[in-house]
Structure 1
Amino acid sequence: MKKSLLALAALTAFAGAASAQSSVTLFGIVDLNVQSVKNGSAGSLKSLSTGGINTNRLGFRGIEDLGGGLRAGFWIEGQINPDTGAGPQDWRRRSTASLIGGFGEIRLGRDYTPTFNNWAAFDPFGTNGVADSNKLRLALGSGAGTVTRADNTIAYFLPAMGGLYGQFQVAAAEGATGNKELSGRVGYAAGPLNVGGAYMVTKKTGTMADDYKTFNMGASFNLGMATLQGAYEKNKYNKEDQKLVMLGALVPLGSGTFKVSYIKSKGDTGSTTLTNQYDFKQFGFGYVYDLSKRTALYGAYARLDNAGTTANGANQAIAGGNAGILRGENSTGYQFGIRHMF
């Protein structure tokens, strides 16, 4: 009897030690807003929309201590649509496995590309809502599926090195057009300063006529009363190119943060007719009021001006409006909502 009790105590202690060395976390974000978008002659559309300051998501992440400073981890995260409750119920936001140690991190799976990570780091709106900047980063007709994320990646992340950070990534095409990429990002963040640069080449595969290339760099500086941000990006494919400049600021105000950004795009389609197709500018501002560390109320407004005419202009639009905006027309939108993280 005594031996049985000792054995049970030993097993209980072992189980406790094992659970202390590993953990699994359920996490998510629910973000809903009332939104109105007017896309030129296509008219206005009012809706209950999602993702005003954060994309809605549900995920699991876990870590296991392997000993000797080595850890293994996983991260699976999918998008949810709380306005309707409909799918997609998949893990396409991120699905990775990692090995982490003093050497840094080796990560495999579907993940964000270094060029997206670098651009998003210097967008006051975090590439979300009516003032989102990511919709303006174009694949230029290449069919590249790597503007934001990439499938089948192998990545290496630098360990903490006194402010220096870096990410290097390769992705296999596995027979798909526009998914074979090689990219990297390096930067330095210490005190009030953050500066980084990234480069990506998506190799010519399938029906692509050439490689698709992206380079961007950005910086931010916290002055105390405000954080100033700026970024530049150039996208290149065959005879087409696009140059983007983004300026913005984050200003602490009361129990929240005021955000503002201005983005201008200039490009060349390689065509003698569609000369203004990549020429547009966007201005946006908003305010996030923090009710707690996890819950916030917010409002935002944005206006996107397309250059040119119906014959040769740009026709970018704020997401969530009616389809069919004509070239050279403008797009405006506003939203008011609530975000909760868990």
Structure 2
Amino acid sequence: MMGMKETVVNIKRYGMLISLALAANAHAQSSVEIYGIIDTGVMYVSNVGGHSNWLADPGTAAPNLFGFRGTEDLGGGLKAIFKLEGMFNMNNGASINGLFGHETYVGLRDDKWGTLTAGNQIDFMFYSLVVDHWGPAFPFVSSVSLRQGSFSGLNIPGPPGNNSFDFDRALGVPIGNSVKYVSPTIAGLSVGAQYSFGGQPGAFGQDSGKSFGINYHIGTVALNGAYTFVKYPEINNGNDGIRNMGLAASWVVGPVELATMYTNTQNTANGARVAVYEGDVTWTVSPFLHANIAYQYMKGNDVLKNQKANQETVSLTYSLSKRTSLYSNLVFQQASGGPAWILMAPGQASGGRQTVANFGLLHVF
């Protein structure tokens, strides 16, 4: 009987050792990363309702965010992946749009077949026309230089009192309840598609969304396209929404990147539409200093009373290390047919001119 007990104990011991070895092996093939962006600074706005204003922590370079992302190697080139990402207010630490309201998903990535994910996911107006389009220049393009104006007739659901905030989704806006596929890159070409389920019984398309992206790289040239159409419950009971499309190109020539972009945003219920034409240059002055100069021409259609806006932005970024940078932006906007309003400014101007100047510190971890 003692021999039998010893055998059982040994079997259990060996089984435990095997389990520990398998767990250690699985751990070695998996990874979880904590990451984030902390951005703080001071902003001066020349005209907000007729008065100048100073702001702390406007988040002009990039949103303040933190998250977790991870992979697990399943073998044969297949990996399980996940991402949990949220934004927060630097002034009071409060979460924005919930703890992980910026982007969350889980899915599978295969070296040969591409990536399939499901969750609350940012669409291709951001990933194709911003991230892939700017490529190496992306970290040096400030959020304050993106699209904004007093095109309130677009009636985009979002921040209270601002119906044209980030109207072409270049800042990165998630689409809930969505399934997304991104192909592998083959001969410089990759494509993607995303669909959001509206969840309305008997009305499959109501409150739904869809997005498509295409990216093509040949040498140092990048060509990009994107389309996104999101239906909102606030617009014709979810049967209409905001349609965005855009084309972009960039070319890296030595220390300089030349880029151009066109976007078109339309409310399918009332016909309001804004077109944006943009050109910018990013110059690597030294390994530590980068400069970005951008120009935008924004034009509304007759539903928006042909409102127009011209915007010029100069951004400087000085890297103190791989993770920490100092930045400064100077932005001018001149509008006609409506008041000026620069993205990240707390309100629209009393007239057709608004200026923003800021200085800040950015840390990435």
For the aligned pair, the TM-score class normalised by the smaller chain equals 0.7 to 0.9
Letter matched to residue 197 of structure 1: G
CA contact (8 A) 1:259 1:286 kept: yes
Aligned with residue 116 of structure 2, among 106, 116, 138: 106
1:174 corresponds to 2:199? yes
| 1:307 alignment counterpart | 336
Distance in 2 (alpha carbons) for counterparts of 1:286 and 1:206:
36
Aligned with residue 146 of structure 2, among 121, 133, 140: 133
Task: Give TM-score scaled by structure 2 length.
Answer: 0.81
Alpha carbons of structure 1 residues 85 and 269: separation in structure 2 relative to 1, 3 Å: same
**Offset at residue 141 of structure 1 (A):** 2.9
Aligned with residue 316 of structure 2, among 281, 287, 294: 287
Distance in 1 (alpha carbons) for counterparts of 2:214 and 2:49:
43
Distance in 2 (alpha carbons) for counterparts of 1:107 and 1:138:
34
Q: Which structure 1 residue ranges, 5 or more long, are not aligned? A: none
CA contact (8 A) 2:140 2:291 kept: no
Structure having the higher helix fraction is 2
CA contact (8 A) 2:150 2:348 kept: no
**Offset at residue 127 of structure 1 (A):** 9.9
Aligned with residue 57 of structure 1, among 42, 59, 65: 65
Aligned with residue 119 of structure 1, among 123, 126, 129: 129
Letter matched to residue 267 of structure 1: G
Superposition pairs of residues 1-342 of structure 1, within 5 angstroms: 3=10, 6-7=14-15, 9-39=17-47, 41-88=49-96, 89-101=98-110, 102-121=112-131, 122=133, 129=142, 131-135=144-148, 141-143=154-156, 147=169, 148-175=173-200, 179-203=207-231, 207-208=235-236, 210-237=240-267, 238-254=270-286, 255-270=288-303, 275-277=305-307, 279-308=308-337, 313-321=338-346, 323=347, 325-326=349-350, 328-342=351-365
Distance in 2 (alpha carbons) for counterparts of 1:222 and 1:127:
14
Distance in 1 (alpha carbons) for counterparts of 2:211 and 2:180:
9
Partner deviation per Cα, 1:216-253 (whole Å, 9 max, x = no partner)? 00000001131001000112234322110010011001
CA contact (8 A) 2:120 2:175 kept: yes
Task: Give TM-score scaled by structure 1 length.
Answer: 0.86
Q: Secondary structure at the match of 1:16?
A: helix
Distance in 1 (alpha carbons) for counterparts of 2:45 and 2:83:
34
**Offset at residue 157 of structure 1 (A):** 0.2
Between 1:44-53 and 1:5-14, the stretch displaced more is 5-14
Between 1:98-107 and 1:158-167, the stretch displaced more is 158-167
Bigger Cα Rg? 2
Distance in 2 (alpha carbons) for counterparts of 1:235 and 1:126:
25
Distance in 2 (alpha carbons) for counterparts of 1:192 and 1:125:
15
CA contact (8 A) 1:144 1:179 kept: no
Letter matched to residue 196 of structure 2: A
Alpha carbons of structure 1 residues 139 and 151: separation in structure 2 relative to 1, 3 Å: farther
Distance in 1 (alpha carbons) for counterparts of 2:234 and 2:330:
40
Distance in 2 (alpha carbons) for counterparts of 1:50 and 1:207:
30
Q: Secondary structure at the match of 2:28?
A: helix
Distance in 1 (alpha carbons) for counterparts of 2:211 and 2:150:
16
Letter matched to residue 264 of structure 2: K
CA contact (8 A) 1:36 1:334 kept: yes
**Offset at residue 178 of structure 1 (A):** 8.3
Alpha carbons of structure 1 residues 125 and 262: separation in structure 2 relative to 1, 3 Å: farther
CA contact (8 A) 1:32 1:338 kept: yes
Alpha carbons of structure 1 residues 294 and 286: separation in structure 2 relative to 1, 3 Å: same
Distance in 2 (alpha carbons) for counterparts of 1:127 and 1:235:
25
Sequence identity percentage? 26
Alpha carbons of structure 1 residues 223 and 128: separation in structure 2 relative to 1, 3 Å: closer
Alpha carbons of structure 1 residues 171 and 8: separation in structure 2 relative to 1, 3 Å: closer
Q: Secondary structure at the match of 1:135?
A: coil
Q: Secondary structure at the match of 1:131?
A: helix
CA contact (8 A) 1:241 1:267 kept: yes
Q: Which structure 2 residue ranges, 5 or more long, are not aligned? A: 1-5, 159-167
